[in-house]
Amino acid sequence: MARISRHLPATIFPSFSTALLLFLLFVSNNLRHCAARGHDYHDALRKSILFFEGQRSGRLPPDQRIRWRKDSALHDGASAGVDLTGGYYDAGDNVKFGFPMAFTTTMLSWSIIDFGRNMGGGELGNAVRAVKWGTDYLLKATAHDGVVYVQVGDPLSDHNCWERPEDMDTLRTAYKIDANHPGSDVAGETAAALAAASIVFRSRDPSYSRLLLNRAIKVFEFADRHRGAYSNSLRYAVCPFYCDVNGYQDELLWGAAWLHKASRRREYREYIVRNEVVLRAGDTINEFGWDNKHAGINVLLSKEVLMGRANDLKSFQINADGFICSLLPGISHTQVQYSPGGLIFKAGGSNMQHVTSLSFLLLAYSNYLSHANHAVACGADSSASPALLKRLARRQVDYILGDNPLGISYMVGYGPRYPQRIHHRGSSLPSLDAHPTHIGCKAGSRYFLSPNPNPNVLVGAVVGGPNSSDAFPDSRPFFQESEPTTYINAPLVGLLAYFSAHP
């Protein structure tokens, strides 16, 4: 699994206009390169969604397409007297971490809400099923008032083994938060996921949508009333894995923002305005991931402002503009860094999570700006048009798909060259079909250490990606580079949908 990023030292460019000019030349050069090659965005879209089937926990349905995966973790929750089967493994291990699972569900939902119409019928259906695999689990995890189950699986026990999920004999402890052990971060994100998904299902399945929204309302109320960080309540279970470093205020605001969008209830709008101060511009302006929702809140709420429906939320749009400017070189000290090959780079491991989530925001904001016929002013004499934001986002997607110094696709199964030794237990161990007998905890080590390619191709998995010099080891022990995660793919689904419809 991947951890929170740390900020890189700021770089100040000598002159804004020189830097921007160089950058645009750089981008247009790369665009020529991409145009010459062209990507099959629809193929990549299909694969990016398929990946989620490889991450499924629980009893697999008959229409499961990744056939080398089988039923697993069928007794999750039993030790606590509840049913917690289902849901997703976060990455290359077999723990069900609720915080990133909820964030993944939120981002898959946002991908569908903004870009579902670009997916084509078949992939839209698959994407909706991927959301439902998440929400069916989150409904189980929130089934009892005042309790949220936030994780299944003892991470130390799990990480000590290299085992197929189907063979798991590690501790499947179920961890929960409640009034005396609060977790406003994970509960806030869970409320956001349920609310966002209720929009996805609004016309497709109105009664399921109502169930999701009502649950979101309850979970948010619990998160807000019993405030605290789940890392304090469950320290050794969640840290250092998905430790809440950034605090829970942003998840409360994020939950309220999605509830506002899903329910249109006045109380959430008022909550947002009351708590606006939580988001100060500054060094978190361009952070967005499972731990930090700042840029996401700003972009999400800006849509309302740009449509002229919410002048009381204007400060969020000012922050969103600042976020956009931070992705262009040379404008502010909170500048996002790029690798020499042109990839957004933030330190801390699993860099692709930043690439896909920030690119998603660029694209979403670009659409909101287009509708309002608006451009972002960055500095005195320049503005970033919606078309420029789309080019920046496309450049990141093209890098992932193979337009990079190594000429390798970072999506498994896409293009002629892609990572062969991803840090993923199920992919790297022989499947049950190939090897029906149990492979124990330590017996898996020889597969982990093997130089051979993984036997099971986890199609669609996007790995953590290259280091800041565009180098990639393609080696299992380098988990920061070679491990896929669900929250890398979730925003990518929206990006690929858009570009498949606008090639």
Ligand X SMILES: *[C@@H]1O[C@H](CO)[C@@H](O)[C@H](O)[C@H]1NC(C)=O
3-state secondary structure of 426: helix
474 catalytic residue (yes or no): yes
Q: How far is the CB of 340 from ligand X (least distance, A)?
A: 10
**CA–CA distance from 134 to each of 22, 129, 294, 303, 333 (Å)?**
43, 9, 23, 26, 38
383 binds ligand X (CB under 6 A): no
Taking the least distance from each CB to ligand X, the nearer of 143 and 406 is 406
Contact present, 235 and 218 (Cβ < 8 Å): no
483 catalytic residue (yes or no): yes
* Residue of the chain from 218, 468, 474, 501 that contacts ligand X (CB under 6 A): 468
Q: Which long-range contacts (CB under 8 A, 24 or more apart) does 373-378 make?
A: 374/306, 376/321, 376/324, 376/325, 377/321, 378/321, 378/324, 378/325, 378/328, 378/331
Choice among 71, 136, 205, 474 that is catalytic? 474
Taking the least distance from each CB to ligand X, the nearer of 379 and 405 is 405
11 binds ligand X (CB under 6 A): no
Contact present, 498 and 115 (Cβ < 8 Å): yes
Contact present, 188 and 196 (Cβ < 8 Å): no
Neighbouring-strand partners of residue 6: 347
Q: Which stretch binds ligand X (CB under 6 A): 97-105, 121-129, 189-197, 465-473?
A: 465-473
* Residue of the chain from 59, 469, 477, 503 that contacts ligand X (CB under 6 A): 469
Task: List, as one string, the DSSP characters of 430-443.
Answer: PPTTT--S---TTT
> Residue 97 CB: number of other CB atoms within 10 A?
30
Q: How far is the CB of 348 from ligand X (least distance, A)?
A: 13
Q: Which stretch binds ligand X (CB under 6 A): 141-149, 267-275, 294-302, 468-476?
A: 468-476
78 binds ligand X (CB under 6 A): no
Q: How far is the CB of 470 from ligand X (least distance, A)?
A: 8
Taking the least distance from each CB to ligand X, the nearer of 387 and 471 is 471
475 binds ligand X (CB under 6 A): no
Residue 227 class from Cβ within 10 Å (0-12 exposed, 13-18 middle, 19+ buried)? Answer: middle
Q: How far is the CB of 125 from ligand X (least distance, A)?
A: 40
* Residue of the chain from 64, 232, 467, 475 that contacts ligand X (CB under 6 A): 467
* Residue of the chain from 156, 179, 318, 471 that contacts ligand X (CB under 6 A): 471
For residue 306 the two structure tokens come to 């740009």
Q: How far is the CB of 468 from ligand X (least distance, A)?
A: 4
| Residue of 125, 98, 102 whose CA lies nearest to 191 | 102
Query: 63 Cβ partners below 8 Å, 6+ apart?
Result: none
Contact present, 378 and 328 (Cβ < 8 Å): yes
Choice among 423, 435, 438, 481 that is catalytic? 423
Q: What's the one-letter identity of residue 170?
A: T
Task: Give the nearest residue (CB) to ligand X.
Answer: 471
158 catalytic residue (yes or no): no
User: Residue numbers of the site for ligand X (CB under 6 A)?
Assistant: 467-469, 471, 473
Q: Which sequence positions are flagged as catalytic?
A: 423, 474, 483
